[in-house]
Structure formats: C-alpha cells, structure tokens
Structure 1
C-alpha cells in the first residue's frame, strides 16, 4: 500500500471500550500506555496510513504534551517522525467540548535536525500567533519526553540548574499513594463520629502548612482494599499533597487523618527521611517555580498534579534549618499566627540550597525583599 499524502482529522477522545476491545488494542497497538485513549490509537494508526512523504494533521487534546499516560506515543513520534507543529488552542475551541485542544502535525519522513513549530494561540487566527522553533531532539532529553514549549530560554536554563544541584528525586525518598477512592459526598462519609469511623479530609481542606478539618468522618472497611487500600498509608506520619491545581500545596499530618482521592499521601521510604525538610522544600517558591514550569502545559480546565510528575521533583537536603522552620510554620498555623516571615526564610534557604544566584532568584521572584549582599550572606549551617 502506497499510502496517503495527508491524513487529517479530529479523532474521538474519551471513548468507552469493552474489555474485549481493550484486549484487542493491547495486542494490536504498540504505543498505548496503561490508559486506553482513543485519540492515541488514531495517532498510531494514522502514521501507518501515510506514504513516505506524507503528513498527519490532527486536532487532539493538548495533554498529549505532558500527560504521564502518553509517554509511549510521545517517544514513538519523536523516534519515527518529524514533528512539524504543536499548536496549543486552549480551552473551548469547540462548542460543547470541555477539553483543551492542540494541532498536532507529523511528517512521515524522519529528518536529521528536524525543528518543531510550537506555540499557543489566543484567537482563532493562526497568523496572529507567536510560534517558537524547537529542535526535535531537545524533547528526547526531557523526563517522560514531555513537549514543554511554554517556557522561555532563561526559565529552561534555571530549571536545568535546579535539577543539576539536586542529589535525589522525590521518588527516591518517598512512597506515593492516592487516598480513599471515594468522593467527599460518598455514602461512607458522615458528619459525626462513630464506630470504625475515621476523621476525613479532602483537597479543599489543605493549604500550605495548614489543614482545616471540616468534621467529616469515613466508615472504614479495609476488606474493600481497592477503595480503602491499607491502614498504613493513613495511620503513619505523612505529607498530604493536594491533587487539583498547578502548584504543590503540602501539609505534614501526624494525627492519622484519612483522605479522599483528591489528596496524595507521601510516606517516607526510610525512617531517616526528614518529612519536615521535604515539606519545606516542596512548599517553597523555588520548587514550585520548577514544578509549574517544568510540567507546564497551559491547561486551563481542571488542572491536576499527576504522581508521576511529583516523583520528578529534585531534592537536596540542608543541615536542618529548613526542617525546623517548616515545623515552626505548621505549629504557628495551628494557632492562626502570621508565618510570612518564616516562609520567606524557608524560600531564602532553598534558593541558597540549590545555589541560585541573586539574579536567578529575582527571575523567580521579582519582588524578592533582600539586597544582593543580604542574600549572599545567608548560610545553610
């Protein structure tokens, strides 16, 4: 079969498949990850329909760029095609379609030093858009082969520097779990205490260093392990991280709260792991700058933090100052005391920990309150 000069379309997404269909796709498609998403199947199939000089042009969800479930298809397109264009169309580009979309264009012929035109349009007029050129091979070096084209050269350099100064990734130190696989309005959730009921929180209860208990309780049944998992992920010291949002919002729980699935549980892999130290680092402005830019995809609808992205957070330990400050902040928050000055101290220490220059700090925080001398005089010991 010679193939087509061009394959063009708006393939379906979010389709529901039977178990028989899923088994067929598993055996017939090489580049689907654990999630069976219809538009991913169409990309692989579309690639086989092109002739040797053919092109594929699709409008698909823009989470193709960063979703951790689509690593295989990103690698497949990088290895086997010249990606011509990725244009983020934003939200509500189609009536009655609540999804952020993009134009995704591939050329069958793989060219050396291929460059990708990338950008985001703010109107329906493509000619008004500002597009950047990225070497395709750049995206072969990013974790999970994410297509992160939303950031400036300066930001990209700073992200690389923060990574280079770290000694660990968060996944080296922490085990991750979702909470109970029920919503806050489940029949298992009550407004009062009772036998086998445990105090329960949701993502909306969390701010940085702060938990607001709303007097909700859940009736626990660990025989239902698919929903409740195991007691150990709740009844141990752990860091809660809110799942919904673009930045990391974390709180350290030592009171054995249970949580629904819009909150992640971060438990230490070793007793030597200092959870307060990690709390201060991941709540810091520096790491949130790294995180929100490194995995940035301009998603406007329902932003979520995947566990696979949290695992990539670069961690470097100080000599105890950050841990103590994080502990102090959380204790003062319980008493409704102002902690802004202490949080600024944590931010300052984290900047120094990752060896950022004064100018680099100002790039992250243009309103940074210290002079250059004051900043450079900060010591970690």
Structure 2
C-alpha cells in the first residue's frame, strides 16, 4: 500500500504535469478519456486504490457498466463493496453545473452508496448522497482545487483507500452533523412496496367482495400486479421500452379522469405479453379484478418518485441484490384479510417459520464465486453448458442471480459468438440466446414460499430482458415446494419429489453446485421431526433446519460437485453438529471455511463453507488438503479429523496444536467422575399449585400445564403461584446456589429453598450429600467452586461433579485443572472458539473433556500433584477469610487479595509443570488470551 510520502511525491508529479500543460495552453484540448487516463486514475492510484485491478482482488476500482445512460464512471470498492462512486469529466468542463452534481448524487443513492465524487482533476467535489437537502450544492462535503492537493493533503487523503478502511471520511461527516438523512434506497423502496401492497389489498377487498377471494388469491393477485409494474419500470429506465405507465396515467388525466385507469394499464400489460411472452403477463385472476383509479394512480406515480417528491427512482441503477434485499424483507410481511378489509403487517413469526433472512451481497458474491470457480477451472466449455446450479432455499433468488452473472462473465470470454456480442449496445457482452441458455440449462431453485418463487423468477427475467426478445418460462427451473420433504402426508401439496420434479438431473447423478443461505432455526413440527429423524438420521432433540438442508444438499450433489453455504457459526463447534462435521471431513475436500461474524438483522455469527464432494478419494488424500480459513491462513484437513468432536478451530496453528496434544493424551472425564445437572427450577424458584390435587410443581411459561402428581391439565393463569427460593435464611429451608452465588474457587453467598414443598419432585439427594465441585453450565470458561459442606443444592444452570467411587483422585486436583489458564486455553480452542454469545457447556461435552489421570503420573508429576493439592487448600482458606471480611475495605483485605492472585498463579504454574508445558508454550497461551 502506498504511504503518504510516496503519495505526495506522485501527486506532485501530476500537479507539475498539469501546470506544464496549462502553461502550454493544451488543457482545452483534453477530452474525458485523456483526462481519466493521464490524471484521474493516476491520482487515485497514488491514493492507494487498485485502479487497474492488476491483482484481481475484491479491493479494486470498477468501471460502472449498467445499461443506464446516466451512469457514473467508476466504483471504488473494498471487499467488493462500493465505498464511493466517481463521475469523471474532461478538464475543460465546468464542474459547478448543477446537473453533474445531481447525476452523481442520484446514482450513488440508487446504488446505496453514501459518497459521490465529481472530478476533472482540476477540482474534486465530494457529495454526501444520503443528506436530504433541497439544493444539491448543500450536499457538498468537500471541495478541493488542484492547487490544494499538497497544501491540504490531509483533506485529499480522506479519499485514500486507507482512509476508507478506517472510516475517516464518515467520521468527518459525523463531526459536521448535517441532519435530515435520506432513507437508503432499499429501505425507501421497501416502505413504498409495503404501502402499495397494503393499498392494493384493501382496495381489491373493498371492490371485489362478490368474488369470494381467499387470502392467498388476494396476495397472489397483488403480487402479480406489482411484479408487472416493476418489470415495466425496469424496461423503461433501461431504455428497452419507451415510457408506458406514466403516459397511460397522463392519458387518463387528460380525459378528466373518466373511464377506468385499469383498462389503460391492461392494454400496456397485453402489449408486454405480446412482446415478451412471459408468464408474468399471461392472463391471470388479477386481470378480472376491479381496482380503483385512485389506488392505481398512487402506485404508478410512486414507482417514479417518492411520495414527498424528493427522490426519482431509476430502476436501471438499482442492482438485483438491492431488489433482493427489499423482497427478502417484504416476504416477512403477511397479509391479514377479513371479509371486508385487508392489512399488511411485519411478521417476525413468519420470518422464524420460514427462516427468511437477507444475505449481504458481498457474502453472496463470495460464496457463489468461490463455488463456481472450483468447478469452472476444471471444466471445458461444453461441460460448462451442462452445469446445474441449485439453491434449495432460493428466496428471492440472490444466489441464483449471482450464479447467472458469473456464468455470463465466463461466456463473455469463451463464447464463439463473442464478436457478434460486441455489437450488443446494452453492454451485457453475451447474446440474448446465450443468456436464455444459462437461465434454462444452468439455474435451478426451490422455495417453500410461493411469493418468493414469483419474485425469484421476476428478478432472473429482469437480468436478461431485451427489446424485441421473448422471455423464457422458468417454471421448470424455479419451483415452489418443500426441499426437505417428499411425503404429501407430512408436507401436503408442498411435498417435492426430486426424482420426479428434477428427473433428468437426478438421473445423471445430481446437481453440480448447491449453494445458498438455508433457513436457520425454522419452526419444525412434531410430525416433521419424526420424518427428518428417519430420513436424514438427524437427532430429534434441538433439530436445526440448516443442518437438514446440509444433509439434503449432500444427497442432491453429484460426485465432484461443489457445495457452498452460509451457516451459523455454531456449526464449527457445537457437539450437536459433530456428525455432520465428520461427514464433511471424510467425504469432501474442503476449500474454504471463513468466519463472517455477524451482519445486520441476524443475531448469530456465521461462517461459509465451500467444499467438493469426493467420496471416491481416500482419507489420507483428503487429510493432505489445505483448507483456507481466512487472513491468508491454511489448515490441513486431517488436523480437524483428529480433534475431539471434529471441532473446526479456524485459529489453530502448529504451536497451539502441540499444546493441545499434551492434554488430549489423557482420559475422558466421564471415565473418572459423575456429572449431574441441578434442579429444573428458575432463580426465584417459581412454583404453581394444581387446583385439583392441591400439590405443587415447578412453574411453566405455557398457558396450560399438566400436573405431574394427578396428570390433570389446568390453566396456569387461574392457579396459585409461589416462590420457594429466598435470599434470606429461613428455618427448615436448605441452602441452594444459583449462578451468582459462586465464582472460581469461591462460594460468594447462598440462597435458601423449601426442599419439602408437597408435590415438588427434586433429584436424588445423593448428588448433593457427598463432597463435590460446582460448575457453571452457562459460561465461556470453566468456573468451578468446591463444596465440602455436603448439603448444598444447585439450580439447573449448574453442575454437580463427584469422583466415582472406584477412582482415586482428589477433587481439588480437578478444581485446579478446571480453573487453570491451561484449561481456559483448552476450552477456547476446542469448544467456544471465540464465540461472542452465551455458551452452554453440555453434559456430554464435559464428560468428553480430556484430563491427565494422576494414577498414571511419574514420580515428578506425583510430587507436583501433592504440592498442587496443598496450594489449592491454601487458596480455599484465603477465599474463606475473604468471605469473613465481607465488603470491609481493610489492609488485611488488600493483603489477602494480593495473596490470592499470587497463589492462583502458583496453581497455574504447577498445572503447567504436570502437563509438561514449556516456557515458550506458556507465552503462546498468554498471547492467545490477548
């Protein structure tokens, strides 16, 4: 990357060149191309931008090649995302003309990009496209003259790549604090589309009560009308067609608003049906509906400009992924219809049921490009023609649209008709025939949501629409159905039989590429759970829809095919998914597993996996495969195969691996201890009394509860309630610990519980009576305390750990191990993996943790073991004294706290010595925590 001193030197050269040309009076002869070549591109190269995309990376400057005649010249991108758009002009042009600023600002807004830059090298004007101001000149944020480039270099440097990586320009804008931000194009369109949908739904319901429309028929009709209007507006702005909709409205207005506007619009629809011959304009239920002129007038006008008339929509500048975002959110709204009215509302429940969430365009691009790259590099053109790409949960089609784009790029370079395609003034680079072939032969999708399918088909058709060409039908490619269930008794009419619906593809071995962002955590009914358990060998407890899609996709993928999915980060670490991880490690060559963290509207962190199905390869060959895990790092696939539960630690390196191997040589904890979870009761000990038998049971959040004593159901709201846990000590109540009552090595306090409440069934007192360790079940690290009192009860989020009768180990050894730095390192590398959310330590995982068994120690280890127990006793004594002092701020308290820290460190060092951890390895462990 160019530093500031190198940049200044290069810019000085450009300024000198400009000065020389000006003195020679040659500036007036410079056209736009000469200006870009000699001054603008070199200037931004000096600012650190990859203007010529020499390294073919995702940080580059792209020529903006939309069909719109109003396009700007360049998009400056980091990780494939445009940071600002630049409109270049010839040096002699007057940059102060308002039309140039309007053009740059409007285009940037439509692209969802905050910054628009207008330059002819003589000057640079930077506009904030998000500010909602009456005069575009007020959107001007930065105005530089060529004479200022070096004197005010700090201002010019705000346009450098380094500045955008650090967000410096955005921070400067926040300091200015101009109010009244424009709503981003996706949110503005979503608001408008949702308003149109509700308006048309209400209108059609009101004026068509004799037609007995169902909720589904009404929703489908409204969707079809909107899809038609969006398609037409897209064609208008791409100049494939002259203006059609607005002239129809103006014609109606010129007649004094007499006659029905719907009839004029139907004539437009019929014209498009003749020209494009798509299902979109075929005769449909919506064509026979009565719709008021006022509603249609508002919808049509709203597709040209916003209601407040501050923004004019340009559909040619709105990318397919922006429309995809709008539709993904739009699908989260549901229609509620009664006999006389209809209402559209956002439904989180519907999102949850179907797993409807938007995938950011940079993630879609990464997954699709990576998956197809693996396939395209080993296929000949004839074979590429037969590639079958599937998204089994395609939603509005963002992954399929990107697949089309990448295959279209491929044919730009390979197609024998390329020379003819050069004459294509649309700039798409391939012939219409080729694009239709890509859609019909290569692109396939399925979704449970019928509306999503309609939208996916529309989005794909918008990609290829050209004047004078009829559009293909996509019903055989993009289908409505349940990708996971082929049994009508389980899924009804949505059941999808792959062997019938995609007969030829399945007959030939399956799909070549399966990609997508499958639903996470979608609702699964009891009957579906039973079906999935049998069909996919999936555990019936905590079943997650994304795992089912992974299993189904593996079945649908042919040998040598590539899978590319965005899935929850939990996949790489949770014991629940150890079997599916094993399947990938043993049956696939994994190319990438990249941690994408979190993105908007999705609370879980996520990862992508790209892998080729290679069942026919032997394990040793797969073990030698290097998996890219981000930040330029690679890990051998075989390493993961030998980790407990096949956990995929993407931060693992050779030094960490050697340390972990010293631990993994031990016994499983489950061979040495008994582990029991505490009582299934809340922190406050909520209980409820059965109105039939008057016995108590633990409280329920459900409306109805079945009494465990008499088996009768009753309404929770009508029952008596009480709390049996108290902070205060009560006679005959037993001590009980909740999470906040203990920490490492220390019991901080105690609560008390009525252990004899009639009807309450507690666990066996055996798990509380003997000495035990108490461990928090919800924690990223092991937090463990020691109970010698033999009678403390625990709540459900804590474990009781006792040594098996036949095992000769001191509990305090385990206490030291669990609370040590070494086992924090173990936990972070084999379980939590840096997760940012709450971690539950499962009983199964805890029993699988490896530990060195003192019965196998050599003399040196035994000596250290004895000292370790003594040191733990010392620490427990210190903590007990700290409890006695309580909150008093005394010198003794400070001295004890210092002694506790020192003793804790001694214990860590003794554990290190027992496990043979060297000084260098200690430093590796310490650095990993930082």
Into which bin does the TM-score normalised by the smaller protein fall? 0.7 to 0.9
Cross-structure match for 1:155: 656
Deviates more, 1:315-324 or 1:327-336: 315-324
The 1-side partners of 2:626 and 2:592 are apart by 5
Task: Say if 2:802 is the partner of 1:292.
Answer: no
| Structure number having the greater strand percentage | 1
Gap change, CA 1:79 and 1:221, over 3 Å in 2: farther
Q: Note if 1:66 corresponds to 2:576.
A: no
Does the residue aligned with 2:578 lie in a helix, a strand or coil?
Answer: helix
Q: How far apart in 1 are the matches of 2:779 and 2:660?
A: 20
Is 1:248 the counterpart of 2:782? The answer is yes
Residue 875 of structure 2 corresponds to residue 329 of structure 1: yes
Does 1:130 pair with 2:631?
Answer: yes
- 8 Å contact kept, 2:734–2:753: yes
- 2:633 counterpart SS class: strand
Q: Match of 2:485?
A: none
Tell me how far 1:216 sits from its aligned partner. 4.3
CA distance in 2, matches of 1:315, 1:329: 22
Shift of 1:194: 4.9
Greater Cα shift, 48-57 or 188-197: 188-197
Superposition map of 1:115-126 within 5 A: 115-119=625-629
Q: Do 2:679 and 2:795's aligned partners in 1 also have CA atoms closer than 8 Å? A: yes
Structure 1 counterpart of 2:769: 235
Counterpart CA distance in 1 for 2:845 and 2:561 is 34
- 1:1-381 alignment, distance < 5 Å: 1=506, 2=508, 3-32=510-539, 34-90=541-597, 92-95=598-601, 97-110=602-615, 111=617, 112-113=621-622, 115-119=625-629, 129-164=630-665, 166=666, 168-187=667-686, 188-194=724-730, 197-217=733-753, 219=755, 228-255=762-789, 256-270=791-805, 272-311=808-847, 312-317=849-854, 318=862, 319-336=865-882, 337-338=896-897, 339-365=900-926
Asked if the contact 2:573/2:830 (under 8 Å) is kept, the reply is: no
- Structure with the larger RCO, 1 or 2 (CA within 8 Å, 6+ apart): 1
Equivalent-residue separation in structure 2 for 1:115 and 1:220 (angstroms): 60
Whether the aligned pair in 2 keeps the contact of 1:222 and 1:230 (CA below 8 Å) is no
Change (3 A) 1:221 1:94: farther
Separation of aligned partners in 2, 1:345 and 1:233: 31
CA apart distance, 1:322: 1.3
Q: How far off is 1:18 after superposition? A: 2.8
Deviation, 1:55, is: 1.7
Tell me the distance in 2 between the aligned counterparts of 1:146 and 1:200. Answer: 35
C-alpha change, 1:222 and 1:245, in structure 2 (3 Å) is: farther
1:338-368 alpha-carbon deviations (Å, 9 max, x no partner): 31222222122111111222322333347xx
Distance of aligned partners of 1:303 and 1:156 in 2 relative to their CA distance in 1, 3 Å threshold: same
1:83–1:190 CA distance, 2 compared to 1 (3 A): same
Aligned residues: 351
Using the alignment, how far apart are the partners of 1:42 and 1:221 within structure 2? 47
Deviation at 1:178, TM superposition (A): 1.6
CA distance in 2, matches of 1:37, 1:295: 19
Q: Distance in 1 between matches of 2:734 and 2:523?
A: 35
- TM-score for the superposition, normalised by structure 2: 0.36
The equivalent of 1:375 in structure 2 is none
In the alignment, structure 2 segments of 5+ residues that lack a partner are 1-505, 687-723, 855-861, 883-895
Does the CA-based 8 Å contact 1:192-1:217 persist in structure 2? Answer: no
The DSSP-based 3-state class of the residue aligned with 1:134 is: strand
Shift of 1:45: 0.3
Larger Rg: 2
Q: Is the 8 A contact 2:735 2:750 kept in 1?
A: no
Q: For the Cα contact (< 8 Å) 2:647–2:830, is it kept in 1?
A: no
Cα distance in 2 for partners of 1:49, 1:306 equals 33
Contact 2:738–2:751, Cα closer than 8 Å, also in 1? no
SS of the residue corresponding to residue 782 of structure 2 reads coil
Q: Is the 8 A contact 1:180 1:229 kept in 2?
A: yes
User: Which residue of structure 2 lines up, in the alignment, with residue 378 of structure 1?
Assistant: none
Evaluate the alpha carbon distance shift between residue 221 and residue 156 of structure 1 in structure 2; reply closer, same or farther with a 3 A threshold. farther
Deviation at 1:118, TM superposition (A): 4.0
Give the distance between the partners of 2:916 and 2:511, measured in 1 at CA. 53
Secondary structure of 2:524's partner?
A: coil
Residues 345 and 98 (structure 1), Cα distance of their counterparts in 2 relative to 1, 3 Å cut: same
CA change 1:362–1:266 in 2 (3 A) is same
Structure showing the higher helix proportion among its residues: 2
Alignment partners' CA distance in 2, 1:218 and 1:62: 41
Q: Which runs of 5+ in 1 are unaligned?
A: 120-128, 367-381
Tell me if structure 1 keeps the 8 A contact 2:515–2:563: yes
Preserved contact between residue 207 and residue 250 of structure 1 (Cα < 8 Å)? yes
Give the Å deviation of 1:107.
1.7
Assess, with a 3 A threshold, how the Cα gap between structure 1 residues 196 and 19 changes in structure 2: closer, same or farther: farther
Aligned residue for 2:600, secondary structure, equals: coil
Give the C-alpha shift of residue 74 in structure 1. Answer: 1.2
- The CA deviation string for residues 201-239 of structure 1, in whole angstroms up to 9 with x for no partner, is 2222221111112434354569665xx432212222110
Q: Is the 8 A contact 1:174 1:268 kept in 2?
A: yes
> Is the Cα contact below 8 Å between 2:684 and 2:725 reproduced in 1?
yes
